Structure 1
Amino acid sequence: MIRKEFIVAENQRGLLVKDGRLLQMLDPGRHTFWDWDNRLSAEIVTAQGVFNSPWAAIIEKLHPAMAAEYFMVVRPGEGQAAVVWLDGRASLIVRPGQAVHVWKVLNDVRVETFDVLAEPRLGKAQLVAFEKADTVTGGTVAAIAIVSVAEAQAGLVFFDGELIETLKPGRYGYWQIGRKVTARTLDTRPLPLEVTAQEILTRDRISIRVTLTSFVQVADVEKAALATPDYQAHIYKLVQFAVREAVGGRTLDEVLNDRETVDAQIVGHVRRELGDIGVVVTELGVKDVILPGEMRELINKVIEAEKLAQANLIRRREETAATRSLLNTAKLMEDNPTLLRLKELESLERVTEKIGRIDVHASSGEGLNAVLDRLVHLKPRD
């Protein structure tokens, strides 16, 4: 004869088993049994949260009264999801085809069931409450898909590859049960698209590198997302083709001297080939034209020669103008003795500025008049 004693704590329950058959559930306290043949055993389990034990399904089927007293069975149907609330907090999400046994002896348990097929989108309050809940293992993906759309963006939600709706900036949640939820966001602001330098051969067989800058903007979000896998890469290729066509049909001088026409041709080609994919090219133009080193030196020499020729031409024009002015002045002085005398006095003034001292002798009887009349003569006197 064996006397067995089992102690069950407040947060525990005991499963009294004899020969592999459940006899009763042991509540907290000290339990004493006489085991004549040493056939009794007790399995002590924590009575909080999910009852993860093979005994859970056995109790549900063979001891329904015991199951109803100690735990709640959560088994959502097809197209449904169950949220288990413990003490007012969403703690667990159960998928269709799963069965969960939740202890209710120490927690306030509440189960909320949702039709995920009819209402796939969660409300704001539901998203906040459910996003931190655990999901019963067995699913390959999370039970809830969260889609975040930033400011100045638009979001697209797809169920199994099918476009469902377009979203404004915000945070959204969708039941990902029985479907795969994917999302894509697009920026609706004008975005710069830099086309890096590429080597192009001009019509006069000169290799140059051209860099372009463009701005693209999404006008129709759904078209932009569905028309091409990547609209920016698509426009990038179109710009490359357009610049080759525009530059390859011109000489180097035409490319350098008529940038506006080149830009207009590139823009026209891109917009024509782009079509209606929900994206517009707001601006597009050539940013840089990079020449080979030897070509830059040659062009610099040509520019230097042109500038030197222009400088010589200007200098000759100025010399001609100065000579013509002197000729006109001489004609005026020839016809006007007074003007000639004023010019002589002006010349005398410039000469005397460089003379430190002038001695005048009056023995000849002329005095200062000898200086004024004989020192400077612009024209022989009669």
Structure 2
Amino acid sequence: MMIQVVRVQSFQIGLVFRHGGFVRKLSTGTHWLWPNETVHIYNRGMLFEKPPVDLAILLAEPEVAFELDVIDVADNELVLQYENGQYQRLLNRGRWAFWKGVHQFTYVRVDLTQLAVPAEVDLASLLPQPLSAYVRSYTVEAHEKGVLFIDWTFSRVLDAGTYHWWKNNIPVHVLKVDMRQQQMEVSGQEILTRDKASLRVSFFVQYRVVDVMKALVDNKEYDRQLYVLMQLALREYIGNQTLDQLLETKSDLAEVVIRSSAGKAEAIGVELRGGGLRDIILPGDMRDILNQVLMAEKKAQANSIMRREETASTRSLLNTARLMEENEMLWKLKEMEYVEKIAEKVSSISLSGNGQLLDQLKGLFGTSKN
């Protein structure tokens, strides 16, 4: 049996075993081994993977333990490995061993039982990988505000931004609300007027959330509460009006409803900014009745106008007759006017008789007043 010759480079380390048991460590240089010895050579700065024997046995040897960085990671921990400030790898639960030399590593240990991510953990470079499985993230957009609940208890109001917490058994919830002006439709409302006329009304309201605490913490489902609030205000206003009053003053409905609801809306963190009546729909029989009333009113107006015109025309004729009676020249001019109008419609005139032509024309145009 021949003696083995092994050379260990400056960036390497060797471990010699005999019959499965550790014998010695080999440093840089050339070494001779007995035939019944085996050697395992490892690169310094690398992970000690698949040791020939249990790692705990090797760590009991002082010369081996001195050459290793051993990191124990508990079930509720993570360890981040860095070299010269650059992330290298994530160590989860278990025992990790790295050979010393060549690479100088530093480690950041984090406790997953806590929510807050330490400032020394640069999430910008570690998300989405490798920490996506361990971090929960919430984003609040620029037009939003958020409310943070930790373990079902209010914590704080969140401004626009992205927030990160470790994943663990502590419940974390973020409720968000849009801070821009919004519009709500209150449509298809079946309402009775004071005189028992049935109407279907559609209304819209413009609003903006101004108090996040009231909207999301002090009240539940503020938008549904606002809908019911506007619904009740509409019913109250319309229920106190007759149909005729409502149709005459419908332009005032939105202003009155919004003004009466502003205080209650403020209590749920909402500011009412405007609104309007979109539709008033009457039942078919009610529409027919109103159309008949409208037609009767229009006919009465037409008859009144015709009577006024007839009276004015008769009065004008009477005045003309009185003037003609008092002024013979005016009478003659009127006659000539009528003859002229008749002549415009006559294409030819035939004259006959024994008298002279001049006498005939005189008889035609010179008729004297009797």
TM normalised by structure 2 equals 0.74
**Residues 322-366 of structure 1, C-alpha deviations (whole Å, 9 max, x = no match):** 222222222232233333333222222221221111235672532
State which of 138, 160, 170 in structure 1 corresponds to 2:161: 170
**1:10 alignment partner in structure 2:** none
Shift of 1:61: 5.4
Query: More deviation in 219-228 or 121-130?
Result: 121-130
Matched, 1:373 2:366: yes
> Residues 193 and 23 of structure 1: is their aligned pair in 2 closer, same or farther, counting only changes over 3 Å?
farther
Q: Distance in 2 between matches of 1:200 and 1:52?
A: 80
User: 2:186 corresponds to which letter in structure 1?
Assistant: V
* 2:96 aligned residue (90, 93, 101): 101
Shift of 1:153: 1.8
Say if 2:202 is the partner of 1:211.
yes
Cα 1:225–1:51 change in 2 (3 A) is: farther
Residue of structure 2 in register with 1:133 after alignment: 129
Residue 358 in structure 1 maps to residue 349 in structure 2: yes
Equivalent residue, structure 2, for 1:257: 248
Q: Bigger CA drift: 257-266 or 245-254?
A: 257-266
Percent identity, aligned pairs only, is 30
User: Within the alignment, does 1:149 sit opposite 2:140 as a pair?
Assistant: yes
Q: Distance in 2 between matches of 1:247 and 1:333?
A: 64
Q: Following the alignment from structure 2 to structure 1, what is the Cα–Cα distance between the partners of residues 293 and 122?
A: 75
Report the CA distance between 1:240 and its aligned residue: 1.6
Farther off after superposition, 233-242 or 176-185: 176-185
Paired with 1:244 and 1:64, the residues of 2 have a C-alpha distance of: 87
Contact 1:93 1:143 in 2 (8 A): no
1:231 aligns with 2:227: no
Give the gaps of 5 or more residues in structure 2: 2-12, 28-32
TM-superposed CA distance for 1:288, in Å, is: 1.3
Determine helix, strand or coil for the equivalent of 2:337: helix
Match of 1:287 among 258, 278, 301: 278
**Alpha-carbon displacement from aligned partner over 1:200-239 (angstroms, at most 9, x marks no partner):** 2222223221111001101122322212222111101111
Whether the aligned pair in 2 keeps the contact of 1:75 and 1:100 (CA below 8 Å) is: yes
Q: What is the alpha-carbon root mean square deviation over aligned residues?
A: 4.8
Say if 2:41 is the partner of 1:83: no
Give me the whole-angstrom Cα distance separating, in 1, the residues matched to 2:48 and 2:168.
21
Q: What secondary structure is seen at the aligned counterpart in 1 of 2:366?
A: helix
1:183 counterpart residue number? 174
User: What's the CA shift string for 1:113-132, capped at 9, x where partnerless?
Assistant: 46889993677993321222
Residues 1:129 and 1:324: Cα distance change in structure 2 (over 3 Å)? same
Question: CA offset at residue 191 of structure 1?
Answer: 0.2
Moved more, 121-130 or 263-272: 121-130
Q: Could you tell me how far apart the structure 2 residues matched to 1:269 and 1:217 are? A: 17
Distance in structure 2 (CA, Å) of the matches to 1:26 and 1:337: 154
CA displacement, residues 7-51 of structure 1 (integer Å, 9 cap, x when unaligned): xxxxxx999999987789999xxxxx9998xxx9x9x9xx97796
- The letter for the 2-side match of 1:267 is I
Choose which of 303, 315, 318 in structure 1 pairs with 2:294: 303
Which residue is equivalent to 2:191? 200
Change (3 A) 1:244 1:365: closer
CA distance in 1, matches of 2:301, 2:228: 44
- Cα distance in 2 for partners of 1:193, 1:92 equals 51
Distance 2:253 2:141 in 1: 37
Deviations 1:125-160 (A, max 9, x none): 93321222324xxxxx95333222223222333333
Q: Distance in 2 between matches of 1:103 and 1:86?
A: 13
Cα distance, 1:337–1:279 mapped onto 2, change above 3 Å: same
Distance in 1 (alpha carbons) for counterparts of 2:150 and 2:175: 12
Query: For residues 330 and 152 of structure 1, do their structure 2 counterparts lie closer, same or farther at Cα, with a shift above 3 Å needed?
Result: farther
Query: 1:307 Cα shift?
Result: 1.6
Moved more, 231-240 or 66-75: 66-75
2:246 partner letter: V
Please say if residues 56 and 101 of structure 1, whose CA atoms lie closer than 8 Å, have aligned partners that are also in contact.
no
Of 71, 74, 89, the residue aligned with 1:73 is: 71
Corresponding residue of 1:5 = none
Q: Distance in 1 between matches of 2:155 and 2:58?
A: 41
Change in CA separation of 1:48 and 1:344 when aligned onto 2, cut-off 3 Å:
farther
Q: Deviations over 1:226-278 (max 9, x none)?
A: 12222111101111222222222332222222224543443244224334332
Structure 1 gap segments, 5+ residues each:
2-12, 28-32, 136-140, 375-379
Report the AA paired with residue 373 of structure 1.
Answer: G
**Which amino acid is the alignment partner of residue 365 of structure 2?**
L
